[in-house]
Structure formats: C-alpha cells, structure tokens
Amino acid sequence: MQLPRSVLVVDDYDQIRNLLRRILQGAGYEVSEASDGRQAMNRLREKAADLLIIDLIMPEQEGLETIRSLKSERTDLKIIAMSGGEYLPIAEKFGADATLPKPLRPEEVLEAVRRLLG
C-alpha cells in the first residue's frame, strides 16, 4: 500500500489554509500548514513534503522569495503558487510548477495537485 502524498499549504489566512486542508484531506492527501514562507522553510526542514501550495503575498517572508529559495535547495519539490494578483507569471519564472488564481476552486486545486503528483 502506498503512503499518502504530503502537501504543505502556506497562506497567511487561516480560512484559505482550512479550505485547502479540507479539499486535500478529502482526496486522501496528508496536509501540513504554515502561515508564511519562513515557517514553511522550517517545516520542510523538519519533515519533507511532496508538494508545496503557497500564496505569493504574505507578511514575514513572501511566496516568490520562498519559491526561489526552495527550488535551489530541493529541485524535486513540486510547487503550486496561488495569488489574486498579477504575480503568477513571475512565480513560474521563479520555479513554480503550476499556478492557481484566487479565489480558489476546489476542482482546479485537485486537478493541479493530481497533475503534479501523478
């Protein structure tokens, strides 16, 4: 039996993290959370994840900086960037494997996750 794939959800809004956790756990994924990029980097050092879903605009350490740092450290980590703004094309240049516009739609989230994790 294959272990569930793990996803780290990073957003400064509790409501977004809760929504993504419910969507992903409902589809059988193991989910952990962080509220900013710095916390995400620490979580990934403690416990690896297969996929990172990260907001781009956050206090402390924002998503673009986090994506760039993580892609240099962990080339195997799949990353989905999410934002309500115009930064999604920049996230792809920084190494995001996929992007999701906010507001999020559950079916789009699951489609992107399944595409990246196989």
**Residue range of the domain that includes 101:** 6-117
Interatomic CA distance for residues 86 and 92, integer angstroms: 12
Residue 65 lies in a domain: yes
pTM score of the predicted model: 0.96
Maximum Cα interatomic distance, the chain, rounded to a whole number of Å: 41
Q: Over its length of 118 residues, how does the chain's per-residue pLDDT go in tens digits?
A: 566 899 999 999 999 999 999 999 999 999 999 999 999 999 999 999 999 999 999 988 999 999 999 999 899 999 999 998 789 999 999 999 999 999 999 999 999 999 999 8
Residue 12 lies in a domain: yes
Residue 83 lies in a domain: yes
Tell whether omega for the bond before 4 is within 30 degrees of 0, i.e. cis: no
Helical pair 63-73 and 37-46, crossing angle rounded to 10 deg: 30
Interatomic CA distance for residues 46 and 24, integer angstroms: 21
Cβ neighbours of 95 (radius 10 Å): 17
CATH code for position 81: 3.40.50.2300
Residue 1 lies in a domain: no
How many domains would you assign to the chain?
1
Q: What are phi and psi of 10, to 5 degrees?
A: -125, 115
